[in-house]
């Protein structure tokens, strides 16, 4: 695993770089050698923030962000959270393979839709919408730490949205034509 270390508003010391590389090295057994992990350090007032992102070629993304008054404590908390995400993902994949289902991550071109700026949109994200089922979409949503996820339903070939409800359960939005 290749580890890229970057810093925003903070100087990266060799000890910080070495520590994060050693901590992420234990995840080597889960990934192929060509996987890149990005660790970004930043400081905001009294908060020492660590963000670790591991994008996989099949479309899955592992992302954690932790903050504390101490940068080393933030690294430990982020690595612990990353371990939980990877274990959860691995367990779900094992269950899926045992039931003889497959995971499809086919390339779908990006949408060319651009929202008008006059409505107060401050950020636009573009991403490939991959065919998957609702369970896979919920997994991706949890891995990203978001409360909704847009995906293309593999069965109906329509764009759907899964979201986290206030009661802790999940909802699915399907278009009606």
**Predicted local distance difference test score (pLDDT) of residue 117:** 43
Burial tier of 30 (Cβ tally within 10 Å: 0-12, 13-18, 19+)? middle
Contact in structure between 34 and 58 (CB atoms under 8 Å): no
CB atoms within 10 A of CB 16: 19
* pTM, 2 dp: 0.56
CA–CA separation, 83 and 61 (whole Å): 13
The encoded tokens of residue 129 equal 């919408």
For the chain, list the strands marked E by DSSP: 2-8, 36-44, 47-55, 61-68, 131-132, 148-153, 159-164, 170-173
The encoded tokens of residue 12 equal 């990266």
86 membership: H or E segment, kind and range: helix 71-98
Q: What is the pLDDT along the chain (177 residues), one digit of tens a residue?
A: 788 899 888 888 899 999 999 998 888 888 777 788 899 999 988 889 999 998 887 777 889 999 999 999 999 999 999 998 888 888 877 776 665 544 444 444 444 445 444 557 777 888 778 889 988 899 888 888 889 999 999 888 899 999 998 888 999 999 887
């Amino acid at each position: 695993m290749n580890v890229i270390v970057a810093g925003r508003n903070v100087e990266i010391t060799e000890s910080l770089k070495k520590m994060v590389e050693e901590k992420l090295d234990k995840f080597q057994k889960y990934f192929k050698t060509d996987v890149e992990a990005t660790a970004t350090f930043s400081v905001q007032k009294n908060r020492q923030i660590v963000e670790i992102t591991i994008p996989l070629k099949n479309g899955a993304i592992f992302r954690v962000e932790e903050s504390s008054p101490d940068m080393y404590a933030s690294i430990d908390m982020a690595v612990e959270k990353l371990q939980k995400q990877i274990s959860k993902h691995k367990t779900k994949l094992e269950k899926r393979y045992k039931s003889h289902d497959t995971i499809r991550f086919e390339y779908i071109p990006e949408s060319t839709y651009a929202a008008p700026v006059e409505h107060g949109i401050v950020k636009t994200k573009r991403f490939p919408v991959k065919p998957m089922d609702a369970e896979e979409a919920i997994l991706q949503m949890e891995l990203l730490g978001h409360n909704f996820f847009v995906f293309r339903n593999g069965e109906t070939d329509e764009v759907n949205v899964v979201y986290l409800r206030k009661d802790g359960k999940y909802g699915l939005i399907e278009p009606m034509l």
